Chain A
Amino acid sequence: MSTITLTLKIWRQQDRKTKGRFETYETGPISQDMSFLEMLDVLNEQLTLEGKDPVAFDHDCREGICGMCGSVINGEAHGPEKETTLCQLHMRHFKDNDTLVIEPFRARAFPIIKDLAIDRTPLDRIIQAGGYISVNTGGAPDANAIPIAAERAEAALDAAACIGCGACVAACPNASAMLFVGAKITHLALLPQGLPERSGRPLDMVQEMDSQGFGNCSNIQECEQACPKGISIQNIARLNHEYLRAAFLSEE
């Protein structure tokens, strides 16, 4: 098992209001089999024993599905590996004596809570505005009552795979959440169950996105590059299509 030593420049910020700064840490030997977050665990154990404040970072499942983790590593959201969340990024992708600059996802809509931890509740608010199908529990027809072509169900799942981590927002120079919104709009627009609310959903979600302080899309495509689940930029095209359709054809 090979080990490496790293220089870490980590964004430290006490809370939302205090001004932050980068601090530099030299790591001890880091096994290349570690995940990135385990490397941070090791650093935090070391800081704790030295009587210093450990680095705050969000994480939970550590298997790439909960969407809780995420930082910007050397300018890239979730680090250099394609379609990989930070928890699934392993240290074998770094070299001995590398310097890593680690900072939180930055966006006006994502205030910093502490160090690398941010507040992403604005994404929940966008979903609250209409990112669902309005059915109450009970009384649903038999699951096989409406056939859905396998390809269509698969395409809906491609969009529904979004984990809500916010990397797309962090990667976008406009801090837009269009990929996030587009993924949900696409998921629901592709399914027959989603059609009854087709004329309201895109308008409501986009309006909420704007009011939460996210920017608009200017086709830079950084979001798609950063997305750990490979959500395609075509979802934004579909969002625009659905938005225009709703705006012009809505009877409300």
Chain B
Amino acid sequence: MNLNPKIPPGPLADKWDTHRFNSLLVNPANKRKFDIIVVGAGLAGASASASLAELGYNVKTFCIQDSPRRGHSIAAQGGINAAKNYPNDGDSIFRLFYDTIKGGDFRAREANVYRLAQVSNNIIDQCVAQGVPFAREYGGSLANRSFGGAQVSRTFYARGQTGQQLLLGAYGALMRQVHKGKVRIYPRREMLELVVADGKARGIITRDLVSGRLESHCGHAVVLATGGYGNVYFLSTNAMASNVTAAFRAYRQGACFANPSFVQIHPTCIPVHGSYQSKLTLMSESLRNDGRIWIPKQKNDTRDPVEIPESEREYFLENKYPAFGNLVPRDVASRNAKEQCDQGKGVGETGLAVYLDFAEAIARDGRETIRSKYGNLFHMYEKITAGSPMEEPMMIYPAVHYTMGGLWVDYNLMSSLPGLFVLGEANFSDHGANRLGASALMQGLADGYFIIPATIATHLAGTELPDIDTGHPAFQEAENRASLRIKKLTALNGKRTVDDFHRELGLLLWDCCGMARNEKGLRYALNKIPEIREEFWRNVVVPGTNETFNQSLERAGRVADYLEYAELMVRDALARTESCGCHFREESQTEDNEAKRDDKNFSHVSVWEYNGESSAPISHTEPLVFENVRPSRRSYK
């Protein structure tokens, strides 16, 4: 397996320039001879589609929703980072780079992260030119805020709907290219197979979700921008249609998967309130700036929180981390909340929640100040739970939010399979073992607007790409694989629903491969997953036929892939016996229960290669070399 990251030579700050200069170009007149397939229309997919079409390539863009304006990037609340240093508070490209690589606990590539920081400023310029209405100061300049514990104010935002506004900007650019005839949109399509012809990614098989028809699409390169796999846990902050299928199908065709066990669990979500629950809602982490997190000292205390006196409350983060208190990073806050609930001190109906209390902030700053800061979030909380955080503490609990793992890519964002490029959350490249707040939007747009338009040319101009069409046998084979699978699924007429299996798998992963992992639990999960999978293929019920709009069949296909993918996650978690970022191995902790990284043995990317249905995947590693920063230990005490 060739896992050459293709990091350009030379000083860090010059690598991207050097690389662009050394890259091949496609003559402007020849660009129209190339067809590019883009799967996904979130920030990465929409920005890539529009930018590639502007260059002159013919683009086909596929999305699972009814419109390319609905990708889950739309739900991002907080903001987007850039190293503009508008507030004059000491920010720089190097600082954004350093914060991102340190936040990722030194498990990302220096060169990729530095490039991300470099293009971050162009993103803001581009979005403003598109008419994205960012928040502004009264003088008319752009407003910035500090986010997620950053020491500088580098986050640009549009109220609590930054993702929506950025996506609508990219969607507008995309619609313009559709109007010009350079992009064709295929809505309500799901990619079911990747087509590999003569060793290169040359097309995809999609299912038209309305008619059930399988379609073959041929191109000179395939770009996957299909998001993360957080929904493998059933409950997450992801949208319902977010899934791993496209990435996993590519993995089965030879694209390697990197760090699949790296999953970010966000501390401030509205807790689970019943078995019928379909998703979890994130509450911005800005709430931790003023809210105090506590639980009752006494186990199973069912008193109304306002009746519990100060002396009987435990402010566990403030006590354990006096310097950072409630503002410790996401992974630390999440892990500690779980620990308290596991001891039986959790609150609420399920015992899986902790309090986030604004009483002190209200007493200190007054009701109006607190309302003006958090009014919209309190309103959202009230809508869902019917409780008012102005009158009683909020209840929160961690939830699966973002997946740092993804398909392995080199510096060109090309996977280990030539011709297959992977952008945004679907790749593994920039966030290491933990992503910082307001960095996901930045990465999706960096990949789509600025990186892929420059790097795809080397593949197109430098590779022999024979003139093939969907008549090539590889298309027939791929379509047969997809069709066989659908036939197998629709023939199943068992006794349990798809969601029922999905819930069972999700709970198993949450318990064994969630916020804290240990060998015993991981081994248990590794045995248990094949059992669930075996029962799924025997006892699931998939109503209806393929030839209709059949949402049960859609879900069944995705859950079938989760049942295989989950095993890969667990294997990865098991192999990495160190703790780093989001990945906390209970066996690897310091005396005071903090994560203990093992740079000697694990300063690498774990890369997995598919090896057939009946064999375990092959494990590879890509060593991480730090030439410009020295890995240090994160400490928040």
Flag A107-141 by CB within 8 Å of B: 1 or 0 each. 00000011001011101100111111111111011
Contact B273 A128 (CB under 8 A): no
Chain A nearest CB, measured from B125 CB (Å): 4
Q: Are B69 and A51 in contact (CB-based, < 8 A)?
A: no
Q: A65-B74, A129-B179, A144-B141 are in contact. Are A92 and B386 (CB under 8 A)?
A: yes
Number of residues from B at the complex interface, CB < 8 A: 82
Q: Mark B275-309, 1 if CB is under 8 A from A, else 0.
A: 01111011000000000000000000000000000
Q: Are B142 and A113 in contact (CB under 8 A)?
A: no
Q: How far is the CA of A61 from the CA of B241 in the complex (A)?
A: 8
Q: A89 to chain B: closest CB distance in Å?
A: 9
Known: A14-B548, A113-B210, A136-B54. A66 touches B128 (CB 8 A): no
In the assembled complex, the Cα of A120 lies from the Cα of B173 at a distance in Å of 19
C-alpha gap A135/B175 in the complex (Å): 12
Contact B453 A187 (CB under 8 A): no
Residue B18 interfacial (CB < 8 Å): no
Residues of chain B contacted by A80 (CB below 8 angstroms): none
In contact, A124 and B549 (Cβ under 8 angstroms): no
Q: Residue A135 contacts which of B130, B282, B551 (CB distance < 8 angstroms)?
A: B130
Q: Does A59 sit within 8 A of B, measured CB to CB?
A: yes
Q: Does the CB pair B185–A124 fall under 8 Å?
A: yes
* Given A92-B386, A143-B124, A153-B136, CB of A41 within 8 Å of CB of B499: yes
Q: Are B541 and A120 in contact (CB under 8 A)?
A: no
Q: Tell me whether A121 and B86 are in contact in the complex, defined as CB-CB below 8 angstroms, given that A33-B274, A62-B279, A90-B386 are known contacts.
A: no
Interface SS of chain A: loop
Which chain A residues (137-163) contact chain B, with CB distance < 8 Å? 137-138, 140-144, 146-150, 153-154, 156-157, 160-161, 163
B128-156 residues with Cβ-Cβ distance < 8 A to A are 128-131, 133-143
B129 near A135 with CB under 8 A, answer: yes
Interface size class of A (residues with CB under 8 A): 35 or more
Known: A1-B274, A114-B549, A148-B136. A68 touches B130 (CB 8 A): no
A38 contacts the other chain (CB 8 A): yes
Contact in complex: A54, B133 (CB < 8 Å)? no
| Cα of A34 to Cα of B141 in the assembled complex, Å | 43
B69 to chain A, nearest CB (A): 6
The total of interchain contacts (Cβ-Cβ below 8 angstroms) comes to 216
Q: Are A68 and B141 in contact (CB under 8 A)?
A: no
Query: In whole angstroms, how far apart are the Cα atoms of A191 and B165 in the complex?
Result: 14
Write the B151-174 contact mask toward A (1 if CB under 8 angstroms, else 0): 000000011010111001001110
Give the residue of A15, A31, A146 whose beta carbon is less than 8 angstroms from that of B548: A15
A53 to B549, Cβ gap below 8 A? no
A142 to B125, CA, bound (A): 5
Interface flags, B550-566, vs A, CB<8A=1, else 0: 01100000000000000
CB distance from A3 to the nearest CB of B (A): 10
Residue of B131, B138, B241, B278 near A37 (CB, 8 A) is B278
Residues of B within 8 A of A49 (CB): 495, 497, 541
One of B129, B178, B541 near A140 (C-beta < 8 A): B129
> Measured between alpha carbons, how far is A68 from B130 in the docked complex, in Å?
24
B103 CB → nearest A CB, Å: 24
The complex places the Cα of A229 from the Cα of B600 at a distance, in Å, of 53
Q: Is the CB of A137 within 8 A of B453?
A: yes
B136 surroundings in chain A (CB, below 8 A): 147-150, 153
Q: Which residues of A contact B126 (CB under 8 A)?
A: 135, 137-138, 140
Set B67, B129, B140: member contacting A150, Cβ < 8 A: B140
Partner pick for B140 among A35, A66, A149, CB 8 A cutoff = A149
Q: Say yes or no for B317: interface residue by CB 8 A criterion.
A: no
Cα(A33)–Cα(B168), bound, Å: 32
Q: How far is the CA of A42 from the CA of B276 in the complex (A)?
A: 7
CB <8 Å contact, A113 and B131: no
- Tell me, yes or no, whether B50 is within 8 Å of chain A by CB: yes
If A128-B179, A131-B175 touch, whether A62 touches B240 (CB-CB below 8 Å) is yes
B124 — which chain A residues lie within 8 A by C-beta? Answer: 143
Query: Are A191 and B131 touching (Cβ within 8 A)?
Result: yes
A interface residues (Cβ-Cβ under 8 A, vs B): 1, 14-15, 31, 33-35, 37-38, 41-42, 45, 47-49, 51-54, 56, 58-63, 65-68, 84, 88, 90, 92, 113-114, 117, 119-121, 123-124, 127-138, 140-144, 146-150, 153-154, 156-157, 160-161, 163-164, 187-188, 191, 193-194
- 13 A-B residue pairs with Cβ-Cβ distance under 8 Å, sorted by A, are A63-B75, A63-B282, A66-B70, A68-B70, A114-B549, A117-B549, A119-B66, A128-B175, A138-B122, A141-B125, A144-B142, A153-B136, A187-B131
- What residues make up the interface of B, taking CB atoms closer than 8 Å to A? 47, 50-51, 54, 65-70, 72, 74-75, 84, 86, 122, 124-131, 133-143, 158-159, 161, 163-165, 168, 171-173, 175-176, 178-179, 185, 187, 210, 239-241, 273-274, 276-279, 281-282, 349, 383-386, 449-450, 453, 495, 497, 499-500, 541, 543-544, 548-549, 551-552
